[in-house]
Structure 1
Amino acid sequence: MAKKNVTVSLEGAVKTDAGLTYKGVIMEPVVDQCEGCDRVVTFEDNTYCPTYAQPSIKWSKGVCNFATHARAEVDKTGKVKVNPLKASKRAARGR
C-alpha cells in the first residue's frame, strides 16, 4: 500500500497569550528532537506539531511514537521481562 502525502495546516488556529489555540487545545512549540519530522507545521514564525499538543512530554520517555524521522531502538540484550508471579510458579515446579 502506498503512502499518501497529506499536507496538514493549522487553519483556524488563534495566537493567544497562553499559546497557540487550535480546536480548543493550547499547543506548545516543538522541541529540538522534532526537527526533521514531516508532521511539523510552521505558524507565525514558530513550529508546532498538529498531532500532539505538548511535544516535550512525548520525547521525555524516549522516542516520540509520532516521529517520522526517528525510530525507537529495540533492546538488543536479549533479556525478557518475566511476570514475577509466573516466575515463582515456574520455580516451584522446578523449571
Structure 2
Amino acid sequence: MSEAIQFAGRLYTALASGDLNIIGLIVGFIGGVMVTVFGMPSIGLLNEGMYVEIEVTLRMRIYNRLARLGLVMIMTGFLFQLIPAVKAVPVH
C-alpha cells in the first residue's frame, strides 16, 4: 500500500511541477478511453443516401460530442508530449 501512496505522491509532484509528458500521457489516455466508450457515430454520414431519415436523439448527440472531446484530448495529449521532446533535441 505504501508503494501506491508513493506513486501517487510522485504523480502529484510531476503534475504540480507542470511536467508536460505526464500531463499529456494522462490527457491522451482519458481521451482514448472516451473514444472507446462513446465510439464515433457519424450522424451526417448515416443519413446520407438513405431513403428514411434517421432521428438523431439527444443521447446520440451527447455521445458524438463526448467522442469528439475524446479525440481533442488525444491530440492535446500528443502535443503536450511533443513539446518537451522537441525542446530536448539539441540544435547544431
Quick check: which one's helix share is greater?
Answer: 2
Give the TM-score, by structure 2 length.
0.20
The TM-score, its normalising length taken from structure 1, stands at: 0.19
Which has the larger share of strand?
1
Larger radius of gyration: 1
Higher relative contact order (CA 8 A, sep 6+): 2
